[in-house]
Structure 1
């Protein structure tokens, strides 16, 4: 077990392991599994497995298996001493190179008339697809022929294979079968197992959606769209989030897992805070079958302007700071005039009738008394002296 505290994006770290074959190991190629466990952007543990082929030679064990110590009676054996996949992780629906090194482990006997063919050692997840249908040779048959391999000799073979598009993501065990003869014409068979990592392409498609180029500050913006899993494998831990200098009541929306062919709808509303060019991004993240996190982004730049002024404050006119307007001034002058007239009449009434003016402000009665006085004067003018 080796521990690595952190690994930066794009960085690599060499690992060295030392093994020793036990005395019970036969002379053949052994597939050693390396398991990597790691976390990325959270606490969930992701796991990745890769195989490496190791050739072990143990003549003593070989003689025990043959039941004969005479070296002339032991049989020659062909193994895959080394194999390399290019690329290391094979994508479904694509081609890859498989480079093999074949070795005759016998130190005295050569082999000839060598036939090699490939088979898949397990069924696929689909009931209709039988073993052997995952990998298909490109521009070649599934059978390869070699004239001879001398004692302790090797021969290299490069294969070009194609992975069917609907292959499920996992490590497949590819069986390499051998049929060959020794110098005396004795026929032998052998099998070697190879681990091939296959990964399925994941696809999350989002509909196009409109984002306004210009928006007022503090004006809510709503975006909505449908999204689909158009790949052939499930998408795990699907999540949408909003990034940028905006207010958003729900920045992250967790969807969960999406089966192939599934679809859903997403809607979010946010409000820009600052004026000017404001970058805003709608980000979708999910995990593929191998646990790798994949991110899809839609990046935009909003042109945020100042809020519109209320009616009557256009043309850049600033609202009065003290609250005084010409209308308010006129109303105030009118009130002062009315109060002044009332005060004047009150003082005048106090001088004429101090006792009754305060109790009655009936100007009609005063007018009637004046009219009566005028009539009395007229009567007096008509009477004889």
Structure 2
């Protein structure tokens, strides 16, 4: 009767399953994964022999393995050492037609020499498994062995091993709670077990235990039995970020009192922590902004502890590396005191008065800032930061004024004088000036042609006079005399050249004097000409003769050849005159010029793009006649200052799409000067982001040169953060050019995981339940809930039938 009831219940259960349409998935066994090759590390294996087994797995089926397949190991009479019995496999090599190599550390413990490998995987959504068996050749121990097998108790060798090998991760300055699962993986019982955890013996790993012993004592673990080992330690702030190797040291006995000792490596990953104290220097300023050699300046900056976690006290700030040939303290003392500096303070401003030595040339000079303070343990700490200060040499401005030369004709070998004033119009004294007069052929100096001025104070004037004499071979023409003023330092004073003309008549019997044409004034619009652009040249021609007019005046201009050595242009492109006329010829005519009168002419000229940045000379050639048709020639010179355009390019600015607040990111820049002139005082500044140094000075960038600059920056608030990289430099005309390039990112809070919470390698929390259930689909969850519901319905029906039968018996 009971059997009949049981059959009825089973039939009902099957009908319910059929009605519900529930399909119970089954794992299909295949031979799509095979052991292609295997080898052992030792040629002879006895009971107790330790060796390694290397297995090559190969996929021969046509499907694609998805998810994370596993390899389950049934070792038979062998013991797996330091490895779990289930291993995760990377399917990439198998799907690509390659092989996956697995190495298993084993120990022989019996006579069953067959190892079973079960490969569980998902192919096309179906669960499958492939079973492979490997036979290991073993040799039985000789009967002549010196050890009596009936009394050898050491062969009952238990094996202990921690099976969860995930690498724990903790940030320096946080608590690491470590929970390890210890299992007796052998078939023999272990007793009197002692497990000592040694976190690491490597340099850089600093920790303290949290009232929890690093030694666990366990009375006994039977075969396959498990227990938990819990450890807690605080990883100190000064620990270096890296993965450290710790050890579990085992000491235990088998049931017969035989001792065994072994160790097992445990890995701990430490991420960079937040320091208690992190002093930084920010907002470096000088007054004046440009420090000139031989003058005083005030240096100020902020000292902050914004990146630290606790306040710092008794800070002493001083400057290092001062010397008589560089920066020295002008007045006051080389020390500033800060009593306390909390992390939330914007910083404390300190100021030093400096003097830049006279001999300092143009450039960027380093100064070390020494920060000495007391830490939380009242220990003295020293931090040194390096800053750079830019030094310029003041420009001298010397003018040649009031030039006086003979306006009439110098006849024969009569002596004459030329005088002029040197005026110091700059705001600094100028030293060691050399003034040289250089007359052209036919004129010789009678007085000394070189005069040296040791000092020309600012705002003062020095009158100089030189005496000349024509030679007997002097030709009748306008002779030029070059006045050159040169300083001892080209950076402080650019060499000045000024020309003055005197008319000399040959010593002959001619009764009629020669009329002379000179350029009495000229000017360019603009005053400084840009290469590659047009400009206007205004010239005034003056007939210096008292009573003779000049006529049929032919004027033609000759510009000097380009001497640019810019390597970016080939030699053919660089040839040709620096200046060319626009919409006209370089030759023009003037009908006549009356005595002592001037005629003005305006020309439009074009400057070639690759002209050298300097003062260029235009030769003005004159051919004319007097009123008696006598023909003459003359030459005048016009100086035109030319500057080159400036430009630069940078490499792509790579900013992450997302960043964490206050987490630094390094932007590496490659900056190339693509212009034809030097970019002076090149700086890179940061706007809208936090940075250790918001402004970096790169110095002078030569034409065609490339430099590199790294910027460490971070967002200071959550949300969309926009800012700029600001590039600035001084152009050849002395003006400052500024270029901005926008940078942006999305900033998120740098969240720390709660105690006991798992984090990934980036420090983000991991939901363990989601990770476990991730491979399962929503359909599988619905099927499981459906099956449970049907089982509950069937159970209720069975209980009601039983109750009804019981009630009927009671009625009988």
Calculate the TM-score normalised by the size of structure 2.
0.31
Q: 1:131, 1:85 → 2: CA distance?
A: 24
Q: 2:655, 2:663 → 1: CA distance?
A: 13
1:5 counterpart (418, 427, 437): 427
Q: 1:151, 1:195 → 2: CA distance?
A: 26
Deviation at 1:34, TM superposition (A): 7.7
> Is the 1:279–1:299 Cα contact (8 Å) retained in structure 2?
no
> Is the 1:66–1:74 Cα contact (8 Å) retained in structure 2?
no
SS in 1 for 2:662: coil
1:90 equivalent in alignment to 2:533: no
Q: Structure 1's 284 and 305: CA in aligned 2 closer, same or farther, altered over 3 A?
A: closer
Q: 2:744, 2:573 → 1: CA distance?
A: 51
1:284 equivalent in alignment to 2:727: yes
Question: Which residue in the other structure is 2:664 paired with?
Answer: 220
Q: 2:684, 2:464 → 1: CA distance?
A: 50
1:171 equivalent in alignment to 2:611: no
Q: 1:17, 1:131 → 2: CA distance?
A: 43
Q: 1:86, 1:147 → 2: CA distance?
A: 26
Q: 1:194, 1:151 → 2: CA distance?
A: 23
Map 1:34-183 → 2, pairs under 5 A: 45=491, 47-48=493-494, 62=504, 65-67=505-507, 72-121=511-560, 124-125=563-564, 133-183=577-627
Question: Which residue in the other structure is 1:321 paired with?
Answer: none
Q: Structure 1's 280 and 32: CA in aligned 2 closer, same or farther, altered over 3 A?
A: farther
2:738 counterpart (296, 319, 322): 296
Q: Structure 1's 186 and 129: CA in aligned 2 closer, same or farther, altered over 3 A?
A: farther
Q: Structure 1's 158 and 18: CA in aligned 2 closer, same or farther, altered over 3 A?
A: farther
> Is the 1:238–1:287 Cα contact (8 Å) retained in structure 2?
yes
Question: Which residue in the other structure is 1:12 paired with?
Answer: none
Q: 1:182, 1:34 → 2: CA distance?
A: 37
> Is the 1:50–1:197 Cα contact (8 Å) retained in structure 2?
no
Runs of 5+ consecutive residues of structure 2 not aligned to the other structure: 1-397, 399-423, 429-458, 470-476, 566-570, 756-812
> Is the 1:217–1:304 Cα contact (8 Å) retained in structure 2?
no
Q: 1:277, 1:33 → 2: CA distance?
A: 61
Identify the structure with the greater helix proportion: 1
Deviation at 1:250, TM superposition (A): 8.9
Deviation at 1:254, TM superposition (A): 3.3
Q: Deviations over 1:50-104 (max 9, x none)?
A: 76776x6x6xx64xx332587x521001111100011111111100000000001
> Is the 1:136–1:162 Cα contact (8 Å) retained in structure 2?
yes
> Is the 2:655–2:745 Cα contact (8 Å) retained in structure 1?
no
* Higher RCO, 1 vs 2 (CA within 8 Å, ≥6 residues apart): 1
> Is the 1:119–1:174 Cα contact (8 Å) retained in structure 2?
yes
> Is the 1:102–1:156 Cα contact (8 Å) retained in structure 2?
yes
Deviation at 1:270, TM superposition (A): 1.8
SS in 2 for 1:73: coil
> Is the 1:240–1:284 Cα contact (8 Å) retained in structure 2?
yes
Q: 1:37, 1:201 → 2: CA distance?
A: 29
Deviation at 1:307, TM superposition (A): 3.6
> Is the 2:562–2:612 Cα contact (8 Å) retained in structure 1?
no
Q: Structure 1's 21 and 118: CA in aligned 2 closer, same or farther, altered over 3 A?
A: farther
> Is the 2:529–2:642 Cα contact (8 Å) retained in structure 1?
yes
Q: Deviations over 1:184-229 (max 9, x none)?
A: 1111000001111111112112245365798654122333444333
Q: Structure 1's 302 and 155: CA in aligned 2 closer, same or farther, altered over 3 A?
A: same
1:230 equivalent in alignment to 2:669: no
> Is the 1:116–1:145 Cα contact (8 Å) retained in structure 2?
yes
1:209 counterpart (653, 661, 665): 653
> Is the 1:119–1:132 Cα contact (8 Å) retained in structure 2?
no
Runs of 5+ consecutive residues of structure 1 not aligned to the other structure: 7-14, 39-43, 314-385
Q: 2:484, 2:603 → 1: CA distance?
A: 23
Q: 2:681, 2:460 → 1: CA distance?
A: 34
Q: 1:18, 1:277 → 2: CA distance?
A: 64
Question: Which residue in the other structure is 2:710 paired with?
Answer: 267
Q: 2:462, 2:549 → 1: CA distance?
A: 31
Question: Which residue in the other structure is 1:372 paired with?
Answer: none
Q: Deviations over 1:219-248 (max 9, x none)?
A: 223334443332234556655454677332
> Is the 2:666–2:712 Cα contact (8 Å) retained in structure 1?
yes
Deviation at 1:297, TM superposition (A): 3.4
Q: Structure 1's 270 and 308: CA in aligned 2 closer, same or farther, altered over 3 A?
A: closer
Q: 1:198, 1:140 → 2: CA distance?
A: 21
Map 1:291-330 → 2, pairs under 5 A: 292=734, 294-298=736-740, 307-310=749-752
